[in-house]
Amino acid sequence: MKTVIGIDPGSLKMGWGVVREKSGVLELLGCGIIKPGQKEFSERLGLIFKDLQAVLAQYRPDEAAIENVFTQKNSLTALKLGQARGIAVGACASLDIPVRDYEPALVKKTVTGNGRAEKSQVSFMVGRLLGVKESWGEDAGDALAAAICHLNMCRLNNLLRRA
């Protein structure tokens, strides 16, 4: 049994989702979006760190999966996204939770079969894979997709080691 938190980094909205896998069966434990509000950037980062640490303390995941920053046309946006991602990595590391990085296209392809899938397609497939019909924000859907991607990659690596 393994519990993984997926994180979709952002400085205005950071999605998170916790998935447990037991004997190949996925179970949704919780998900949400951290929204620090329209504060100064440094205040938002502090709030994200505190809120994410509270989520980590509540669910106690074994590992974390975080999407890498994709190339932005605007360098300031990419820098802020990278800083928010660093806060998420730091929150996990402060609680000794190993972090694995995944490219957004790999996460999408793992869940939908298409590395360029829209956020709505990702959320739809996440719901199917988890057997859940509830609605969550697209950022939470992306975070859950990262967790599912990580669990699939772990299962694949285990199979390859046995071969």
Residue 142 bears catalytic tag: no
Q: Which of 8, 21, 51, 63 is catalytic?
A: 8
Q: Which of 21, 51, 63, 139 is catalytic?
A: 139
Residue 51 bears catalytic tag: no
Number of Cβ within a 10 Å radius of residue 157: 10
Residue 139 bears catalytic tag: yes
Q: Which of 21, 51, 67, 142 is catalytic?
A: 67
Whole-angstrom distance, CA of residue 148 vs CA of residue 156: 12
**Residues whose CB falls within 8 Å of the CB of residue 107, separated by 6 or more in sequence, listed in order:** 67, 122, 142, 145, 146, 149
Which residue numbers are catalytic? 8, 67, 139
